[in-house]
Amino acid sequence: MILSATASVQAAVITNYSLGSPQDTTIWNNLTNTNTGLAAASGSGSATLQAPGFQASVGFYSFSLDYTSTVTQTSGFDIHNVIFQVDLASNPAFPIPFSGGALLSFNGGSQNIPANWFLDSGSENRVTSFGPQTYTGAAWQWNLSAYGETITSISIVNPYSVHTSVAGMRVDSAAAFVAAIPEPSAISLCGLAGLMAFRRRRG
């Protein structure tokens, strides 16, 4: 299947997860240099891009070094469930997720919690201004229900390797935990270790 670059985050590599009510969803489907404020297409939240990453004609990119992006979301309920998705054309020299993958913090803190589950949700070919590219969907899920405090805001930092293009992002948060990502990976062990370490520090 060949799609134009404008199809980006509407394509099959991003999944519409239904996590129950209440649920907040924020979608960024235009990360190109035409969206200088990184405004979300729907929902409320913010996105920032850290140097040397920049907004190119197809989305986030870096010619020189690895880079990161950060998304934030605030909800009017106690967040127990978070899914973060990225639509990216990855540098084939590096695995997905890159450098351990996305890390979540909450309530303005710097907990840097690894995801409990990770899923590669498929790929598709697109024609872009950089030529034909293969875009892949990457999804991370966190179970925050065991944390003994009310969580009303989250931030997620995700690393990318040099020569990786990011076309879109999506964050879903919900008050009830639903195991939406079907295939747990070894990253789940990292998430459990992070949770246990955080609980020991609070004890």
HSE at residue 80, side-chain half, CA atoms within 13 A, is 13
Q: Per this entry, what is the length of the chain? A: 203
Please tell me the distance from the alpha carbon of residue 64 to that of residue 82, in angstroms, as a whole number. 31
Q: What is the pLDDT of residue 197?
A: 41
The answer to whether 165 and 96 are in contact (CB under 8 A) is: no
Q: What is the pLDDT of residue 8?
A: 38
User: Is 136 a residue whose pLDDT tops 70?
Assistant: yes
* Residue 100: C-alpha distances to residues 28, 64, 71, 163, 195 (Å): 23, 20, 17, 18, 16
203 or 16: which leads in pLDDT = 16
State pLDDT tens for residues 41-64. 999 999 999 999 999 999 999 999
State pLDDT tens for residues 174-197. 999 999 887 544 444 444 444 434
Please tell me the distance from the alpha carbon of residue 9 to that of residue 86, in angstroms, as a whole number. 8
Q: What is the pLDDT of residue 198?
A: 40
Average pLDDT over residues 112-129: 91
The answer to whether 70 and 156 are in contact (CB under 8 A) is: yes
Q: What is the pLDDT of residue 11?
A: 57
Highest-scoring range by mean pLDDT, 17-21, 105-109, 121-125, 195-199: 105-109
Please tell me the distance from the alpha carbon of residue 150 to that of residue 77, in angstroms, as a whole number. 8
Radius of gyration of the chain (CA): 16
User: Is 146 a residue whose pLDDT tops 80?
Assistant: yes
pTM comes to 0.85
Q: What is the pLDDT of residue 172?
A: 97
The answer to whether 170 and 85 are in contact (CB under 8 A) is: yes
Residue with tokens 């099959």: 12
81 or 191: which leads in pLDDT = 81
| DSSP assignment of the chain | -EEEGGGGGGSTTS------SSEEEEEE---STT-TT---SBSS-EEEE-TT-EEETTEEE-SSS-EEEEEEEE-SS---EEEEEEEEE--TTS-SS-TT--EEEETT----EEPSEEEEEEEEEEEETTEEEEEEEEEEEEE-TTSSS---EEEEEEEE-TT-EEEEEEEEEESS----SS---THHHHHHHHHHHHHHHH-
Average pLDDT over residues 30-37: 96
139: its two tokens: 């999804």
37: its two tokens: 């404020």
